[in-house]
Structure 1
């Protein structure tokens, strides 16, 4: 095992659990998912994955993000690495903000703005990651694909449930 591989593993042993645990705690604290009394009765898009899939998928995605982050952290310091880390950190903060806004505050349109911004930042971060280390960029691809689905689910949930948004901006549903 090379010193670089050992460095990535050491960083991953911190990054992966930190992202998975923090993401899981945010979801728990914001009462994310189908057991949420506000969300449960809402009409869902026909392509909505089953409830059990969300926890499994997010655990896998957060793990892949942690590994990608560890790989980039192992790269030599540079402006490109710094920019990549800022973009990654920014989109991750938005990721952690989304559940409390959507499930906790019932703000469908605000959550939509957050997730679109998150998707753009995650795409930019993945491009930087790919330039720094192709594997790091590829590890973000499943996350980007899931974010596309999540963005569509957020939008369609607003369209299907006019009046359910606690702070409508007129993006997804009818203002109440």
Structure 2
């Protein structure tokens, strides 16, 4: 027998999922941030593009985006019985885990070209995930649009870092000079 859930039950399901997905997304995002960061001599020595925002913008933007992502995933996860729900969650999970590797690649490995590739994958895979999420819950898709905009900005910023530092920036930690070819 199929029984439709009441609006109160649907809200309760969403809140339960949000209590799981928002902290999970925050944990993954902040953990990825520990794999590298801008507080290195290499990054300090890079020529900064004109569009590089104040440093304080990054933690504010990412925290806001992580909360929106968590809420979006809670909306999808709480859509029990929705066609494509599991696929949307799985595709987004793969996208998110891989894209969080950008910090390690760009800051940790000091590889701007590979960072650009991670962001390219991130945008392409987010567009696929966004289409799948949109089919399950339009409101969940809307919550992901600021994240898409930020990834596009990050791609442009990463490219401008590469263009402004064609030699790869200052020497890396082991003293070997880094070279980057365009």
| TM-score between both structures, scaled by the size of structure 2 | 0.85
Structure 1 residue 77: Cα displacement:
4.2
Separation (CA, whole Å) in 2 of partners of 1:156 and 1:50: 16
Superposed structure 1 runs of 4+ greater than 3 Å apart: none
- Which residue does 2:13 correspond to in 1? 7
Q: What is the total number of aligned residue pairs between the two structures?
A: 168
Separation (CA, whole Å) in 2 of partners of 1:153 and 1:94: 19
Alignment of 1:131-150 (within 5 A): 131-150=135-154
Please tell me whether the aligned partners of residues 94 and 115 of structure 1 are also in contact (alpha carbons under 8 angstroms): no
Question: CA RMSD of the aligned region, Å?
Answer: 1.9
Instruction: Give the secondary structure class of the aligned counterpart of 1:140.
Output: helix
Separation (CA, whole Å) in 2 of partners of 1:44 and 1:133: 39
CA deviation digits over 1:22-71, x for unaligned, max 9? 211221x22323x2221122012111111000000000001100000011
Which consecutive residues of structure 1, in runs of 5 or more, have no partner in the other structure?
Answer: none
Report the structure number with the largest CA radius of gyration.
Answer: 2
Which of 50, 56, 64 matches 2:54? 50
Structure 1 residue 144: Cα displacement:
0.3
- Which residue does 2:3 correspond to in 1? none
Alignment of 1:82-97 (within 5 A): 82-97=86-101
